[in-house]
């Protein structure tokens, strides 16, 4: 039986196919490798969730009542302490913090929850995580790709209500410095737009941004050097998925502008968008412990140091990639040609075309493989130095 609405309009949102489905034939090719596939196409953690986080989840498993949408006071204080200790954001109020069911759901629903709709413009980076566009679609707003508000004409600029910044960026790994972020915040405030900063790779800086090796911490949009000491119009989004290997927990949070956070809390109460209490407790414990974060980062640092020369030896040039879990590479050819050459070696990479037109010609190689799989990828790339079809 096929449902036939009275107005003739089919049920369901008419959305584009989820882009990762296009990788299926390349995965099939890669899977034929006698030593198995090395899947470096997605950034899902593969290392164990630290024991102290698992223990916290188990200890909070007796949770017969409904959790709080706003987050427990203890969790919100842990977020505040983390911002002060790790992100150079002192004085944040626990009232201005709220846990979310992972960061992706907030990215997808934020335009709608902020009240955006037809005629409103959402600005996202030129090379960007596709969910920024989908958030605009869900709200009925228009998504525009730009790395600076200066790129927009006056007519478009007048309609901008939300500006996304992603630093460190996915997929490019680019880091926006204090002066660049401050300029973006000032420009957005001039037109009355909200700045939402997706900062989920903030602990994973390399080179000049590698704190453990004497570098500078990746700046947050809530850093007083960026915000000017006021969080008005600013939201920072962070996820524990990468730093703590808890992608399966869906553990993230948003913080910033008091009025905006209060509105989000109220809307989410109505919608039942609540982080389970055991997950809130696991987040609280994870945010209070830096040791496991540094240990995990050391694993990624080692894997990165293995992959960089192997990719370059294979004929790729790495752009940006100064932070985060990815290497943004080009072989100077069509994206899918490179994806195909990797698949023939049993390696699956992420197509740059998934991240906007500006991603054509690039691939994204994730650091999220086990030591054994990363070593296998390095060996395979080394055996095919510079080979192009």
Per-residue pLDDT tens over the stretch 171-198: 999 999 999 999 999 999 999 999 999 9
| pLDDT higher than threshold 70 for residue 350 | yes
Taking residues 246-271, report their average pLDDT: 97
State which CATH number among 3.40.50.720, 3.90.1150.10, 3.40.50.1450, 3.90.870.10 fits the domain covering 19-48+292-382: 3.90.1150.10
Residue 197 buriedness (CB in 10 A; 0-12 / 13-18 / 19+): buried
Distance CA 280, CA 282 (A): 5
Residue limits of CATH 3.90.1150.10 in the chain: 19-48+292-382
Structurally, what CATH architecture does the domain formed by 53-288 represent? Answer: 3-Layer(aba) Sandwich (3.40)
Q: What is the pTM of this model?
A: 0.92
Q: What's the Rg (C-alpha) of the chain?
A: 21
Dihedral of CA atoms 176, 177, 183, 184 in degrees, nearest 10, equals 20
Percent of the chain with pLDDT over 70: 95
Taking residues 23-48, report their average pLDDT: 93
Residue limits of CATH 3.40.640.10 in the chain: 53-288
CA angle 99, 233, 243 (to 5 degrees): 35
Distance CA 363, CA 351 (A): 5
Q: Mean pLDDT for the chain?
A: 94
**Residue for token pair 């694993």:** 299
What pLDDT does residue 320 have? 96
CA-based end-to-end distance of the chain: 49
Distance CA 285, CA 75 (A): 8
Query: Could you tell me the CA-to-CA distances from 298 to 50, 205, 293, 371 in Å, in that order?
Result: 14, 11, 9, 12
| pLDDT higher than threshold 70 for residue 199 | yes
Query: Could you tell me the CA-to-CA distances from 289 to 52, 140, 177, 293 in Å, in that order?
Result: 9, 41, 26, 8
């Amino acid at each position: 039986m096929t449902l036939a609405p009275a107005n003739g309009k089919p049920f369901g949102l008419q959305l584009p196919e989820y882009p990762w489905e296009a990788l299926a034939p390349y995965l099939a090719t890669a899977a034929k490798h006698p030593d198995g596939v090395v899947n470096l196409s997605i950034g899902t953690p593969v290392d164990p969730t630290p024991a102290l986080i698992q223990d916290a989840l188990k200890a909070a498993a007796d949770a017969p009542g409904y959790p709080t949408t706003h987050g427990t006071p203890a969790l919100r204080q842990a977020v505040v302490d983390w911002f002060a200790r790790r992100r150079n954001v002192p004085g944040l109020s626990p009232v201005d913090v709220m846990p979310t069911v992972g960061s992706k759901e907030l990215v997808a629903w934020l335009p709608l929850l902020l009240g955006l709709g037809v005629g409103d413009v959402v600005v996202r980076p030129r090379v960007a995580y596709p969910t920024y566009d989908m958030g605009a679609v869900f709200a009925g707003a228009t998504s525009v790709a730009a790395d600076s508000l200066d790129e927009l004409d006056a007519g478009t600029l007048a309609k901008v209500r939300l500006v996304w910044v992603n630093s460190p960026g996915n997929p490019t790994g680019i880091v926006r410095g204090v002066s660049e972020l401050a300029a973006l915040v000032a420009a957005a405030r001039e037109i009355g737009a909200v700045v939402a900063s997706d900062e989920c790779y903030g602990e994973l800086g390399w080179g000049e941004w590698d704190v453990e090796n004497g570098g500078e911490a990746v700046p947050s949009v809530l850093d007083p050097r960026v915000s000017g000491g006021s969080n008005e119009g600013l939201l920072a989004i962070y996820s524990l998925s990468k730093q703590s290997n808890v992608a399966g927990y869906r553990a993230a949070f948003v913080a910033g502008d008091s009025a905006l956070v209060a509105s989000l809390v109220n809307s989410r109460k109505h919608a039942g968008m609540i982080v389970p209490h055991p997950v809130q407790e696991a987040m609280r414990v994870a945010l209070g412990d830096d040791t496991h974060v540094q240990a995990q980062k050391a694993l990624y640092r080692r894997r990165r140091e293995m992959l960089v020369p192997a990719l370059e030896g294979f004929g790729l040039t790495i752009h940006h990639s100064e932070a985060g879990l990815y290497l943004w590479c080009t072989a100077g050819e069509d994206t899918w040609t490179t994806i195909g050459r990797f698949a023939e070696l049993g390696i699956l990479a992420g197509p740059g075309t998934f991240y906007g037109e500006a991603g054509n010609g690039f691939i994204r190689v994730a650091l999220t493989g086990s030591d054994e799989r990363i070593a296998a990828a390095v060996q395979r790339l080394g055996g095919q130095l510079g080979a192009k079809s």
